[in-house]
Amino acid sequence: HHSPAKHQAAPESQDQATTTSPRAASTTTISEHVRLILAPMGFCWGGGTTWLACEEFADFRAGVAWYGRMVPPASGGDPKRLWPSVLAGQLHASVLGLYGAKDGLAASIPAMREALAAEHKTDSEIIVYPDAGHGFHADYRDSYNAADATDGWARMLAFFAAHGVAPRRFAPSL
């Protein structure tokens, strides 16, 4: 007669055996069972969220942030809000930031670079386009800058490729 413990499935990894957070458990399940290659990319609000996602989830290979907020406002803002510069030490994946020098958010770039350097997160990079403003990739806005948008897109694809993320066209199966 065998004890019930001998019939239980062993965890597939040490992470599964010790994870108590549902969020962490679901992320572990994704990476171990589906084998997806995950890499977020976002514009504006989504750019800031990309930094945060790469700080929160260890399964991401890389991220690309197009002009998103990185540091709290001088007034302090909402004390409950998370900020990429504050969480830089938790960065799991390298992030490429693409910002326009004429964007008000560009003033926060030195503080974010300092936060990354202080945490020895040297594989992330922030590119600043001198002639670009906020939304320089949005071709429906007055701030659209075709040359910088094209360069940024090429840099994004190269950055993802360098981190094992090969973009491909989505082809749904019917």
Active site residues: 44, 103, 134
The CA–CA distances, whole Å, from 163 to 8, 58, 96, 106 equal 37, 14, 11, 25
What residues contact residue 5 under an 8 Å CB cut-off, 6+ apart? none
**Owner of token pair 């922030």:** 126
> Shortest CA distance to 65 belongs to which of 79, 81, 44?
44
Structure-derived torsion over alpha carbons of residues 145, 147, 152, 154, reported in degrees to the nearest 10: 150
- How far, in Å, CA of 8 to CA of 15, rounded? 17
